[in-house]
Chains A and B, each alone.
Chain A
Amino acid sequence: MNFLNVDLLIIGGGPAGLAAAYGAYNAGIRDILIVERDHRLGGILNQCIHNGFGLHRFKEELTGPEYAQRYIDMLKDTSVKVVSDSMVLDLSADRVATIMSSKEGLRKIQGKAVVLAMGCRERSRGAISIPGDRVAGVYTAGAAQKYCNIDGYLVGKRVVILGSGDIGLIMARRMTLEGAKVLADVELMPYSNGLNRNIAQCLNDFDIPLYLSHTVTDIIADEDNKRVKKVVISKVDENRRPIPGSEVEFECDTLLLSVGLIPENELSTKAGVILDKRTRGPLVKDNLETSVEGIFACGNVLQVHDLVDNVSAEGERAGLGAANFINNGEVKGDLVEAVPGEGVSYLCPQLITKEGEYVDLFFRVRTPTSNCKIVAKVGDKVVRSIPKIKVIPSEMESIRIKKADLLDKKVVVQLEAK
């Protein structure tokens, strides 16, 4: 079997992997290889043909493929190499990847550093155990998006959407524009899980009702058990349990699911990378290095993002972290632990090195909260406090902390009343 060595091996050519390559290249690394399982670079952006990408990164509004193309162009005249249609089957702790493709067969490639950028996958019907008949007509929103935007097919004509994640909202609009009737978007929580702008532009603008505090309690098949014929939804109580008698039925042929994303860490686990139970992504230091020396992570494989702009920024930081590792070796010294406190569901990175002046901690709040402040504490001492008019779980927050303030073993970030 062929064996190859590179300085930096990047697994995944979506927005995170592309940005990691860009970040590492700018930091002086020249021998970089991106391994992409699909035919073309760009990852999930290729099927996101709506606009709204790049407002932060490029100060303009781009479609998904346009955004991806920016990064592809930025790498164009560099020494960064890409192999596409190639699947990484295995990754070891000493950073050897087993890669397979039709063209090259099987080969092993070792990186002095590796960046994990495999993205995430959608939660399916099984993940939330929706009762009902098991028939055609139930799809994840992303799969329906692929059929629609890449392949040119509609999965159904009368549609109910469960979950108000951004892909579900985008698909509500997309399917309406393609001539389908979207009857309802149903959300288990008393608030939406998508970006506010998507609620406005994808549901409200098309008069699609949003049923908050509701869930799907039955899926009913047609007479021949072929396809969805009806979806039954029920209101839920404060413990998210369906309330009997509150059922509403929709005659429809399709149920789309937009019920959350899970980082895709099968390879990470094979390499021995420790995952954080909260993010379901690798536990990382602020240089985005995982628990395995020389293996870094960024993008949705690390934590599920809502904006690609943040993915790119994280990717570039992972590229920089990997470059520093290749040039200078492991960052030494004690680590400070970042711990989520009251009202905060996770913190990423989870560990902070001594190197550099600042650290940005990213997180999501547990519930929508108004007139509050985000507080970072070391022991009893408040090292940073940011007042907020409103925070919601669907929008990722961050807080910047001076490393000079981290005089203890841990820093806690929590939500407090103003």
Chain B
Amino acid sequence: MKYDVAIIGAGITGSSIAFELSKYDLKVVLLERENDVAMKTTKANSAIIHAGYDPKEGTKMARLNVLGSSLIHDYAEKLNFHYKQIGSLVVGRNEKDHEIIDKLFERGNKNGVPNLKVLKTRKEIEDLGETNLHEDIDYALYAPSAAIVSPWEMCLSFAENAVKNGVALKLNCKVNDITKVGDSFEIETSLGKVESDYVINAAGTHADDIYKLVLKEKADKSFTIVPSRGEYYLLDKDEGNLVHHVIFQTPTEMGKGVLVSQTVHGNLIVGPDADINNATKDCVHNTSKSMAYVRSTSVLSVPSISFGSNIRNFAGIRATLKEYDDFLIEESNEVKGFINFAGIKSPGLSCGPAFGLEAVEILKGIGVQLNKKKDYEYVRRPTFFKDLSDDEKLEMIKKDSRYGQVICRCETVTEGEIIHAMHEIIPARTLDGIKRRVNSGMGRCQGGFCGPKIFELLMEELHLSYDQIYQDREGSQVVVCRTKGEN
């Protein structure tokens, strides 16, 4: 089968594009190297929907950020992924900070960010409920449209809506080569050949590698992605109420500082740093140096963070473009019909569906016939069992008694939800795949108690053997063999 559009990469960029394109009469395929969507940059970041005052005026970043932020607000309700518009504060403590904050305010207004306000006294900041900030902080840019989100749920939601509406998703599908033959492309993948009229490159940190495949001998015309690693702390829910808005530090020449925020699940997230020296495209390594930096920098905003309540460290890789400070979104000059979405670093997550709209515009611009489907069916994420009312809970248990059995005690995730996750439109087949869908193992014990139980459920429900159960990536076996007595 020949596709109209092949999208490479099922992170937030590729999934958002697939989602928007699935609204048209197009044959679309979404190719993903990993065994699930949202497996790279999308799953390890600050989980923030930025308001849009950061990017320079006139950039694609500025435009797509502000647009994306409002679209995500609407889609969160429509598709039922976790999202909370809690607003953000850029906090300052001296004259120099005040100047920068004033400039951000102006820039935000030019970018079209709604309802920005500069808070010029400590009292105004405390009146918003922020009483745990460092005593020096006396000035802030308040952006009520900023929000927090579950990035993998959002990505999954876009991808499953795309699949539900006809997009073919190919997981474990690594792109090995791309060749333009006549007016279309032949994509050699680990799952065989895929043919398509147009290719959209949304391969994140590997976008330059993918572009070079199609450029062939003109590989030197490619942009270069410089991976930048950022590390985070994720703290127990005990610490979740330390702040009530996303707290950013004033950006300076020294860097953007680190943020402190609640997550949609009620934890506290602290980070990131930005390290390009110890970063490779697939490395999500934590280092003691970065962790120390995050700790010592964050307490300048919130001195009372108790890092003893940490439950997880993680690192994310951002795809930064060398010597180019904007997203690179355009049809290639070298290879017609090949469209790059490259350098999608922060605020990439905040753009979400805006990438899809951008892809639609580019395709229209190069003469692709786009007709909207008449019958588009939206799929909603299931509400977490623990968030249901008592009556709704009873109803669920009556329908399927497995909803009465709690498997993850820290996050109150039931067997019914876990089984459901294995049969979704994009089914979970790994411990972490289940975790991203229903939140099991996200809590204090980090899967120590529920891990072995979910392992058993995966084997039973999907009729898999123990060596087919993975923690996350394909092949990441949870157990390696039977014990002596079981052989």
CB of B303 within 8 A of chain A?
Answer: no
- Which one of B113-121, B180-188, B403-411 is at the A interface? B403-411
CB of A89 within 8 A of chain B?
Answer: yes
- A153 — which chain B residues lie within 8 A by C-beta? 466, 479-483, 486
- Chain A residue nearest to B470 (CB atoms) is A136
CB of B283 within 8 A of chain A?
Answer: yes
CB of B311 within 8 A of chain A?
Answer: yes
- Which one of A21-29, A117-125, A316-324 is at the B interface? A117-125
- Chain A residue nearest to B445 (CB atoms) is A121
CB of A151 within 8 A of chain B?
Answer: yes
B80 → chain A closest CB, angstroms: 22
CB of A134 within 8 A of chain B?
Answer: yes
Q: Contacts A89-B412, A122-B445, A143-B448: A134 and B482 contacting too (C-beta < 8 A)?
A: no
- B472 — which chain A residues lie within 8 A by C-beta? 136
- B393 — which chain A residues lie within 8 A by C-beta? 100, 105-106
Identify the interface centre among A104, A148, A226, A253: most chain B CB within 10 Å of its CB: A226
Do residues B478 and A136 form an inter-chain contact, with CB atoms below 8 A? yes
Q: Contacts A122-B445, A153-B466: A179 and B478 contacting too (C-beta < 8 A)?
A: no
Q: Contacts A102-B404, A125-B446: A154 and B475 contacting too (C-beta < 8 A)?
A: no
B280-312 vs A, CB cutoff 8 Å, 1 = contact: the mask equals 001111111001000000000000000110111
Question: Of A85, A154, A224, which is within 8 A of B473 by CB?
Answer: A224
Do residues A132 and B286 form an inter-chain contact, with CB atoms below 8 A? yes
Do residues A131 and B288 form an inter-chain contact, with CB atoms below 8 A? yes
- Compute how far the CA of A104 lies from the CA of B482 in the bound complex, rounded to whole angstroms: 36
- Which one of B7-15, B93-101, B362-370, B449-457 is at the A interface? B449-457
Range of interface residues on chain B? Answer: 35 or more
- Chain A residue nearest to B452 (CB atoms) is A146
User: Which of chain B's residues 371-407 have a Cβ closer than 8 Å to chain A?
Assistant: 386, 390, 393-394, 397-398, 401-406
Question: Of B401, B444, B466, B479, which is within 8 A of A103 by CB?
Answer: B401
B485 → chain A closest CB, angstroms: 7
CB of B484 within 8 A of chain A?
Answer: yes
A101 → chain B closest CB, angstroms: 5
User: Which of chain A's residues 353-411 have a Cβ closer than 8 Å to chain B?
Assistant: none
Do residues B482 and A124 form an inter-chain contact, with CB atoms below 8 A? no
Do residues B445 and A126 form an inter-chain contact, with CB atoms below 8 A? no
- Compute how far the CA of A103 lies from the CA of B405 in the bound complex, rounded to whole angstroms: 9
B294 → chain A closest CB, angstroms: 10
Question: Of B390, B446, B456, which is within 8 A of A106 by CB?
Answer: B390
CB of B315 within 8 A of chain A?
Answer: yes
A245 → chain B closest CB, angstroms: 15
Q: Contacts A132-B285, A136-B470, A155-B478: A126 and B446 contacting too (C-beta < 8 A)?
A: yes
- A130 — which chain B residues lie within 8 A by C-beta? 286
Do residues A106 and B484 form an inter-chain contact, with CB atoms below 8 A? no
Q: How many residues of A contact B (CB 8 A)?
A: 52
Do residues A135 and B310 form an inter-chain contact, with CB atoms below 8 A? no
CB of B234 within 8 A of chain A?
Answer: yes
- Compute how far the CA of A135 lies from the CA of B285 in the bound complex, rounded to whole angstroms: 10
B162-203 vs A, CB cutoff 8 Å, 1 = contact: the mask equals 000000000000000000000000000000000000000000
CB of A333 within 8 A of chain B?
Answer: no
CB of A227 within 8 A of chain B?
Answer: yes
- A104 — which chain B residues lie within 8 A by C-beta? 404
- A262 — which chain B residues lie within 8 A by C-beta? 444
Identify the interface centre among A121, A126, A140, A142: most chain B CB within 10 Å of its CB: A126
- B483 — which chain A residues lie within 8 A by C-beta? 148, 152-154, 178
- A142 — which chain B residues lie within 8 A by C-beta? 448
CB of A3 within 8 A of chain B?
Answer: no
Do residues A224 and B291 form an inter-chain contact, with CB atoms below 8 A? no
Do residues B401 and A100 form an inter-chain contact, with CB atoms below 8 A? no
- A102 — which chain B residues lie within 8 A by C-beta? 397, 401-405, 415
- Chain B residue nearest to A227 (CB atoms) is B476
- B288 — which chain A residues lie within 8 A by C-beta? 131, 217, 242
Do residues B409 and A37 form an inter-chain contact, with CB atoms below 8 A? yes
- A155 — which chain B residues lie within 8 A by C-beta? 478-480
- A7 — which chain B residues lie within 8 A by C-beta? none
Question: Of B233, B286, B401, B449, which is within 8 A of A131 by CB?
Answer: B286
Do residues B312 and A126 form an inter-chain contact, with CB atoms below 8 A? yes
Do residues B284 and A134 form an inter-chain contact, with CB atoms below 8 A? yes
Q: Contacts A89-B412, A129-B310: A37 and B452 contacting too (C-beta < 8 A)?
A: no
User: Which of chain A's residues 205-229 have a Cβ closer than 8 Å to chain B?
Assistant: 217, 224-227
- A37 — which chain B residues lie within 8 A by C-beta? 406, 409
User: Which of chain B's residues 431-464 have a Cβ closer than 8 Å to chain A?
Assistant: 444-449, 451-452, 455-456
- Chain B residue nearest to A104 (CB atoms) is B404
- Interface set of B (CB-CB < 8 Å, partner A): 233-234, 282-288, 291, 307-308, 310-315, 386, 390, 393-394, 397-398, 401-406, 409-410, 412, 415, 444-449, 451-452, 455-456, 466, 470-486
Mind listing 7 A-B residue pairs with CB under 8 Å? Answer: A100-B404, A129-B286, A136-B471, A142-B448, A152-B486, A153-B486, A225-B283
